[in-house]
Amino acid sequence: MTKISRGAFSLLFLLASIATTFKGATAAEKSAKLAPVRIAYVSRSILDMPFLIARDRGFFREEGLEPELIFMKAIQTVQAMLAGGVDFGTATGTAISAAVNGADVRVIFALSDKPSFDMVALPTITSVQQLRGKKIGTSAVGSLTEILARQILIANKIPPETVTFLPLGTSDITYIALKAGTIEATMVQIPQNFLAVDEGFRKIASGADVYRAVQGGLTTTKATITERPELVMKTIRATQRALRLIRNDKRYAIELIKGPYLDLGKERDRLAERIYEAAVQYYLASGTVDEKLQREMIETAAQRVKPKSPVPPERVFDFSFAQKVADTLK
Residue 3 lies in a domain: no
Range of the domain at 172: 118-210
Q: How much is the pTM?
A: 0.79
Q: What is the dihedral of CA 320, 323, 325, 330, to 10 degrees?
A: -170
Cα 208 to Cα 292: distance, rounded to the nearest angstrom? 17
* Per-residue pLDDT tens listing for the chain (330 residues): 444 455 544 444 444 454 444 444 444 445 568 999 999 998 877 888 899 999 999 999 999 999 999 999 888 999 999 999 999 999 998 999 999 999 999 999 999 998 888 999 999 999 999 999 999 999 888 888 898 999 999 999 999 999 999 999 877 789 899 999 999 999 988 888 888 998 999 999 999 888 888 989 999 999 999 999 999 999 999 999 999 999 999 998 888 888 777 777 777 788 888 889 988 888 999 999 999 999 999 998 998 889 999 999 999 999 999 999 999 986
50 & 90 share domain: yes
Q: What is the CATH number of the domain that holds 159?
A: 3.40.190.10
- 312 plus 249 within the same structural domain: yes
| Same domain flag for 147 and 295 | no
Angstrom distance (rounded) from CA 70 to CA 216: 16
Q: Are residues 102 and 127 in the same domain?
A: no
Sign of CA dihedral 264, 252, 269, 189: positive
Residues 178 and 269 in one domain: no
DSSP H helical ranges for 228-267 = 229-248, 250-258
Nearest to 223 by CA among 106, 72, 312: 106
